[in-house]
Structure 1
């Protein structure tokens, strides 16, 4: 596996690479990331994984400074998966002028759900992914469904801006007890880790109720939020949305997704579950 730190070297490599599947990450890789890498390997001749902790997508008071940087361990995992290139640019390489003068501004959806609690987050995501797409020029790019809103925004961006890339959604990786795999799970203490799967269980309960004919979406959302609050969670949102466009769900919609974000102690967790009626 080649480890490349500069844009020019990556572009030189890309000219001879054939088809490329791309997995952008912030590092601190876990089994969920490796599932993306394995999906990418099915799609193209070569797999490129980027590791870059993107300052633009962290809000004030978030965990940019303490986000784990584990490049050596990550590189070993990627070597084991047969990755062709690990692209690990410095901040100076990707943002030479410090302040990014031109940004990609997603539509209204960036201010809803997670965006309502993390102002500017999706602008930062869309901007860095645009830069990475322009550098790597992938044929495929794999993104996990855990970040469902991010996936929807990037799918829309790629279509609207005519990127020559197919966005590949990959199912959520879960621990044996149902907790969605996340780099931030390591922030949980032992008691919080035992409690954390409750978030997914609440989403499963909503999905079962909807599949059994309950269409009082507001009541289902409220009940799940109440259940979480009663056991010590700080709830940002629990919402049922249309799975295709993430608009507010209406009775009669057949493709739905239930999304939630909540804090357990100091750790913010997100999860979702799709419903097909």
Structure 2
């Protein structure tokens, strides 16, 4: 497995692969790999001839009071894990290589970024779409794999790719969970043992909502109220949002449809966690 840190060297490598007729799959990450990341990498290996994993803690998508400084970083460990997951190359640029002094351009997707995490984290998705646009230009993939845990991010990137006419197939990989149902996240490392127990409420309420939907509850407002009440039964859980939206358009679905997804964000202490689940359709 190769490691490249220079954007120009990355583009040169990718062009060599293209000339050789190889299909490139990109898995964008911020590092701190866990089994969820590795599942994306292994899935990508089945879709392309070459797998590139980008490893870049993108400062543009962090707010001023968020966890940029303490976000977990362990490059040697990440490289070892990626090598065991059929990755051909890790692209790990420095911040000043991705955003040279004087950079003025930002990429923005409107409307889809106005709700859910976009409403709570101003500027976050401008950072996401800007770095993804740069990665697509630098790496030139034909396929890109993202996790479905970041529901809004996936919808935004699909819109970005469509609107800018990139010939990149966007693959959404199912949420990867621990044995007890907790969605895998690099931020789970912040949780205390008690906090981790409280975090299991996310998966429990998704299952509860699915059961209610399966037995005939179709009113989204009634269901979100029930879900919120169940989350608040644990005093350690602070609800950021509970919403039922269309999985692609992210608009509210007052009456449940097959595209209705329960989207959740909560704080456990200072740790913000997100999760989601379709209500009437198998994942």
TM range (shorter): over 0.9
Asked if structure 1 preserves the Cα contact closer than 8 Å seen for 2:213 and 2:280, the reply is no
Aligned residues: 276
What are the superposed Cα offsets for residues 195-235 of structure 1, whole Å, 9 maximum, x if unpaired? 21111111111121112211221121122112222312110
Asked if structure 2 preserves the Cα contact closer than 8 Å seen for 1:180 and 1:271, the reply is yes
- Please state how far the C-alpha of 1:275 moved relative to its aligned partner: 2.5
| Corresponding residue number in structure 1 for 2:29 | 25
| Corresponding residue number in structure 1 for 2:242 | 238
Asked if structure 2 preserves the Cα contact closer than 8 Å seen for 1:238 and 1:259, the reply is yes
1:257 partnered with 2:256: no
Distance 2:32 2:73 in 1: 6
Unpaired segments ≥5 residues, structure 2: none
1:108 to 92, 111, 118: 111
| Corresponding residue number in structure 2 for 1:35 | 39
1:225 partnered with 2:240: no
1:28-107 aligned at under 5 Å gives the runs 28-97=32-101, 100-107=103-110
- Please state how far the C-alpha of 1:246 moved relative to its aligned partner: 1.3
- Please state how far the C-alpha of 1:127 moved relative to its aligned partner: 0.5
| Corresponding residue number in structure 2 for 1:128 | 131
SS of the residue aligned with 1:43?
Answer: coil
Asked if structure 2 preserves the Cα contact closer than 8 Å seen for 1:254 and 1:276, the reply is yes
- Please state how far the C-alpha of 1:251 moved relative to its aligned partner: 2.2
Distance 1:227 1:254 in 2: 23
1:168 partnered with 2:167: no
Distance 1:226 1:131 in 2: 42
2:140 to 125, 137, 141: 137
Distance 1:117 1:184 in 2: 18
SS of the residue aligned with 1:164?
Answer: coil
- Please state how far the C-alpha of 1:250 moved relative to its aligned partner: 3.3
Q: TM-score, normalised by structure 2?
A: 0.95
Unpaired segments ≥5 residues, structure 1: none
Distance 2:241 2:250 in 1: 14
- Please state how far the C-alpha of 1:239 moved relative to its aligned partner: 0.8
Asked if structure 1 preserves the Cα contact closer than 8 Å seen for 2:218 and 2:256, the reply is no
1:8 partnered with 2:8: yes
SS of the residue aligned with 1:276?
Answer: coil
1:158 to 142, 157, 161: 161
